[in-house]
Amino acid sequence: MTSYEEVYAYLERRVDALKTDKSGDERSTLAEVFDAQTLMTIYDFMTSGVIEHIGFPISTGKEGNVFYAEDPDGEPMALKIFRTSTSTFKRINKYIEGDPRFGDIKGNRRKLIYAWTRKEYSNLNRYWDAGIPVPEPFAFKKNCLIMEYIGDENSPAPQLKNCVLEEPDETYDEVISFAIDGFRDARLVHGDLSEYNVLMFEGEPVLIDCGQAVTSDHFNAKEFLRRDIENVNRFFKNRGADIISVDVIMEEALSKDSDDE
């Protein structure tokens, strides 16, 4: 069994390596992401046989960073680490409030970030169980989430915004179904659906960054749903797709919701 000192020393070396050749702001962000408590959480994942290796950064988001990782068998995974900063706390609070799954969350900033991590894990499970293409969630603890890596051995899958679409109409239909089927089958509204939160992997879109998704009975659910549809329509209209009006899509989502009732 690897000792605590060996694992912790490895983590510190790994973080130092990630900081190499970074700008001052990037190094500051990494130092914020890999605070002492987060390193302890990763240590727990490593000693329990969940994570064996942490590799390159995949992305930097508004709430956290995603890193390539591997399990003890060398299989790729994605490790998402949510920052515990005040700015993150202020941004996510509106998506926690009013969610009946997290009505008991009150207290300090770190406790809310931990709830947010649990929320993204729960949302990914709901989307996954509903058959909506998202990274499969594997485990979470405190502010760390482990999920399926979307990409190949050379690089992570690109964001939709960076892709040339051979069949924009077909991709549009698939992405707009994330809003409709998400509302109907997963009982969720993503709340931040756009070309930034969809990856393209092997020609198919994959929905990501689901932490802010709220349940369909949330008091802002319909407002968030309309905003998601408007974002998707705006992007695909600029890519030459034949889009459907927001009202028609809203009606379809809500009528399917009524049929289920």
Q: How many domains does the chain have?
A: 2
Cα separation of the two ends of the chain: 53
pLDDT at 213: 94
pLDDT at 1: 42
CATH number for the domain that contains residue 43: 3.30.200.20
Asked which of 117, 148, 179 is the last residue of a domain, the reply is 148
Could you give the 3-state DSSP secondary structure of residue 218? Answer: coil
94 shares its domain with 188 = no
Q: Is 104 considered catalytic here?
A: no
pLDDT at 37: 84
Cβ(33)–Cβ(44) under 8 Å? Answer: no
144 shares its domain with 166 = no
Q: Is 192 considered catalytic here?
A: yes
pLDDT at 90: 67
Cβ(112)–Cβ(92) under 8 Å? Answer: yes
pLDDT at 63: 78
81 shares its domain with 191 = no
Cβ(168)–Cβ(240) under 8 Å? Answer: yes
Asked which of 148, 177, 209 is the last residue of a domain, the reply is 148
Strands (E), 25-107: 53-60, 64-70, 76-82
143 shares its domain with 20 = yes
Sign of CA dihedral 168, 203, 65, 225: positive
90 shares its domain with 180 = no
- Say if strands 204-207 and 188-189 run parallel, antiparallel, or are unpaired: unpaired
21 shares its domain with 137 = yes
In the set 104, 169, 209, 228, the catalytic residue is: 209
144 shares its domain with 96 = yes
Domain assignment present for residue 18? The answer is yes
Q: What is the mean pLDDT of each run of 10 residues along the chain (261 residues)?
A: 59 61 53 75 90 87 86 96 72 70 66 88 97 98 96 93 96 98 96 97 96 91 97 97 97 72 48
Asked which of 94, 120, 148 is the last residue of a domain, the reply is 148
pLDDT at 24: 52
pLDDT at 209: 94
In the set 192, 228, 247, 259, the catalytic residue is: 192
Q: Domain limits at 52?
A: 4-148
